[in-house]
A and B are shown apart, each in its own frame.
Chain A
Amino acid sequence: MAWSEETWWTLIKLGIKSKDGHIYRADRYKQVYWSGTTPGLDNLLSVTLSPITHLGGYWTDYLPSAYNDIIYVPPEPVYKQDEPNFPQGIAYVKFIKNAGEDSGRIAYFNEQDVEVYSDQIGYNQPAPRPNTDYTLGTVTNNDLYLIIGCWQNWSETTFSVGWAITGSIDPTMQDHYAILKAWDFCCVPYMSGASMNLLDAWLYNKYWDPVGNAGIPDPNGGDPEGGQGDWRSPDEDVPMPPLPTKSAAASGFMRIYNISAQELNALATELWDPTFEQSIVKNFQSPFENIISLAIVPYAGFTGSSEPVQIGNYKANVVADALDNTYYQIDCGNIELDNYYDTFADYDGYTEMQLVLPYCTTIPISPTEFVGGSINVMYNFDVFSGACVAGVLSIRDGHTRLMYMAQGNIKTDLPINGQNYMRVYTETAASIFQLAGGLTAAGGAMAGGNLAKGIGGGLGAVGGAIKETANIKPEYQRAGSAGATHGLMGMQHPYLIVKRPRMWIPDGYREDHGYVSNKAVRVGDEEGYLQSDVSFNALRGILCTDKERDLIKQAFARGIYI
């Protein structure tokens, strides 16, 4: 189509990302490749994306250093105290473009309707227009689509979006946030050029493909995201279970002390004093029979009150903290797992992830369940029995989901007499055999699993081809089960091992080979490489011989260039 008959629009999707009360700036943007001869289009793809840092009331624009598929991770979260998690109210776009360039138009789509803000912006301006604010309207949900159209070449242009948190328009742009989740560019040919109706209908039908160029709507309808689901199936949060409230410490039948090394030495000296037994008034033959256990635990955040150690009815001359509870929880923190390639290579079958859980085991986890969000590990444990449960949670799309659990033991028992020592030794020896044989430990900890098969047989679910890909490389089993003593000598905090494929895409690959599409297209509207298993019957409308029809079918099977 002639350039003069068309207006090219760029659709930029903005989202809001909030996490734990903090608001993050853009951490990812992706440029959509578009080949063509339309002059304005190439330059529009050079739009400078401007993640914005909000620094206590002012915002600062800065430019990324490259445009093509970079992942930009902010060095620290951007937030302001006492602000709501999700800003509401009027959204603004700040627009800076070079002087002398032709005009354009800004519209926004808020999943309700399309509003055209201005007819022309930056039209024949002799100088750049910094701090020019265009009101986008009220943000009522999490996604905002910013539509920018240009008629001719635009060089580097900066778009920044923010919300007024004071509720009023501040001409100096103070107290504005820019909360950007991702910039997804999509270039759409605007067919009519006279109104927004076609674009409006196109957006409402959600033909916009967030990955790759959407082009014109699918004339045959259908969901470009595939399947027939409406993406509204019930989805609930599954957080880490709460700690039990009834512990051994509160039973009244025992006392549990967090005792220092010095106090423990003093207690041992006192108990072994030959004059000690003369003070015993209970029925037990030895004070040691009143000692249930002595252990080392890798935790120091106990709660309790200081008091003399009492063994049975004997009050020792040693003071220690008596615990009021034996159940504790450790939140090991979160790891952000953004897309690395933002393609299939980020997910199962290509990217592999293993999580090393101290005192439990190493487990394979599914990237599909975490990529795009964050992974959180929490431990619930009992310092009396030593039992621990590690929970692996996926925090994504506003939901927290407990995806994996592992069990183990954090307590290292210490013998207090000869008989007691034999029991401890036997348990330790058994734990060693478990490491060698890969059996489950006494506490139920899982042995390190076969990574490729550790995700519920997911490899089979995506087809044999993926299994072939995964089987190219041998599979290695990391650590075995970790009993408490071994855990004490091992890592004390979880860590994630991520193994990603190194994609090797030469220049021109997309033009020569294309990428997987599975979309309904009209041949004449495509550019570059197109490959299709078009049926013979679909070619019946072409007035050619059957032999020629077969040649056309073969050409499409090889792939043609348009």
Chain B
Amino acid sequence: MYMNTFMNSSDNDKLNKDLTSVESNIPIILKDDTYIEKPVIEVSNTVSNFNYCYISDFDRYYFVTSKGYSQQRYIYQLEVDPLMSFRDEIEDLELIANKSSSKFNLYQIDQDVPRDQRDIINLINFQNGFNGGGGEEYVLAVAGGYQPEPGPEPEPSEEVSVNGME
């Protein structure tokens, strides 16, 4: 069984790691019974420093979580990096993104967006209004007040005798 070693400079949650190759085809031995997700390996030869590796027999990439030395052998505890190991299949995944750097809707509420306690206060006046403060007026309401148009002057009346008496 062999491994290729690398130096990983990427975040553990990065899908495609930025790897710098260190050594290739380093013979390794699995120590005791082990699981494919967290193997413990032994290396008899001195190897250059590395924090990441690939084991071809498992076809998986691993983080180095611990390093030790016992009985003239270097012992490495590894933990699988499932993102890098299955990146092709993961890239084909179609899913609903909760958050995204590239495809987002800023009108949806995002409580994680930090805010300052100092709110921005604006006062905006409307252009028009009432005339108080110097332009007010008096209004007087009265009963009646009907003002008929003056009629024509009445015709002068003739004296009329009653029963012929003047």
Contact = CB atoms under 8 A, between A and B. Distances in A.
Contacts of B130: 298-299, 330, 358-359, 379, 410, 492-493
Q: By DSSP majority rule, is chain A's interface helix, strand, loop, or mixed?
A: mixed
Nearest to A330: B128
B136 interface: yes
B124 A498 contact: yes
Contacts of B160: none
A354 to B, nearest CB: 10
B138 A259 contact: yes
Contacts of B147: 307-308, 310, 315
Contact of B103 (A252, A344, A384, A521): A521
A419 interface: no
B33 interface: no
B142 A526 contact: no
A503 B103 contact: no
A522 B94 contact: yes
Interface string A498-542: 111111111001110111111111111011111111100011011
Contacts of B123: 495-498
A551 interface: yes
A454 B142 CA distance: 42
Interface string B127-154: 1111111011111111111110000000
Contacts of A70: none
Contacts of B108: 344, 516-518
A410 B136 CA distance: 11
B37 A312 contact: no
Contacts of B139: 256-259, 293-297, 323, 383-384, 411
Given A511-B101, A516-B109, A541 B135 contact: no
Contact size class for B? 35 or more
B78 to A, nearest CB: 13
A552 interface: yes
A513 B99 contact: yes
Q: Which of B105, B119, B142 has the most CB of A within 10 A?
A: B142
B110 A516 contact: yes
Contact of B116 (A294, A334, A504): A504
Interface stretch (B9-17, B22-30, B40-48): B9-17
Contacts of B106: 211-212, 341-344, 515-516
Contacts of A489: 132
A343 B107 contact: yes
Contact of B115 (A35, A292, A502): A502
B105 A519 contact: yes
Nearest to A558: B13
A528 B95 CA distance: 16
Contact of A530 (B101, B112, B121, B131): B101
Given A211-B106, A252-B146, A544-B86, A333 B126 contact: yes
Contact of B126 (A309, A322, A332, A530): A332
A286 interface: no
Given A492-B132, A501-B115, A254 B144 contact: yes
Given A312-B144, A359-B130, A521-B100, 17 more contacts: A35-B102, A292-B142, A299-B137, A330-B128, A335-B124, A358-B129, A473-B119, A492-B133, A495-B125, A500-B120, A504-B115, A506-B114, A511-B101, A518-B96, A520-B97, A542-B86, A555-B13
> Which 3 A-B pairs have CB atoms at the shortest separation, nearest pair first?
A493-B129, A528-B101, A255-B145
Interface of B: 10-11, 13-16, 36-37, 80, 82-83, 85-86, 89-133, 135-147
